Amino acid sequence: MTTLEPRIDGIPTPTPSPEAGPYWEGTRAGELRYQACATCGAANFGPGLRCHACQADTLEWRRSAGEGVVYSWTVVWRPQTPAFDVPYAPAIIRLDEGYDMVSALVGLVPDDIEAGMRVRVEFHALDDTITLPFFRPA
């Protein structure tokens, strides 16, 4: 069965928002970043203006260790557009710092994906501005 690989050639390119600038600077530098609240400590993602837990405007950017577990996933066989070769496996990753992000799983075959499996981030550059994080079994 096909081992899942990053799909990056010719895919739609993210347009960075002002709020997410530090996130994209981080991925370019090989760091996964998230926001944490200096008031209550809650981890927040995606990039926003106030803490989802306490509404304080005291969010600070921090570096994630880039490890977590697979919370949920799907294996796509009918691509969103032809730019995405199938199969690919979008997933919700629950990071150890206590936040969730959408990414895609690579480096394993679809049948081996399991809920709760440990994964670690890796980075793949689309171009000079955008580098995307993917997750591989740890």
Partner 1 sequence: MTHPYRDVVIAGLHNTVQARRIDGATMRSLVTDALVGACADAGIAVTDLDGLVGQGVGEAAFDMGLGPVTQVYASQGIPSVRAAAHLVASGECRAVAVCAAGARILRDDGATAPWTRPANELVVGYGLFTAAEFALMARRHMIDHGTTPEQLATVAATIRTNGSAHPGAVYSGRGPFVAQDILDSRMVADPFHLLDCSMTSEGGCALVLMHADAAGDLPHRAVHILGSASDHLGMAYAQAPAWDLAAASGYPAGYVGRRAAETVWRQSGLGPSDVDVCEFYDPFSFEIIRQFEAFGFCDEGAGGDFVMDGTIGPGGRYPVTTDGGTMSYSHAGIIAQQIQRVMRGAEQLRGTCESMQVDGAEVALCTNGGSGALFNDLMLLGVDRP
Binding site for partner 1 (CB under 8 A): 7-8, 11-17, 20, 23-24, 45-46, 53, 71-84, 88, 90-92, 94, 100-104, 110, 115, 126, 130, 132
CB of 120 to partner 1, least distance (A): 17
Q: Which is nearer to partner 1, 3 or 72 (CB)?
A: 72
Closest-CA residue to 46 (of 92, 114, 115, 105): 92
DSSP 14-58: P---GGGHHHHHHHHTT-EEEEEETTT--EE-S--SS-TTT--S-
Q: Which is nearer to partner 1, 19 or 57 (CB)?
A: 19
CB of 137 to partner 1, least distance (A): 18
Cα gap 25→88, rounded to integer Å:
26
Sign of CA dihedral 22, 7, 123, 116: positive
CB of 38 to partner 1, least distance (A): 19
CB of 96 to partner 1, least distance (A): 15
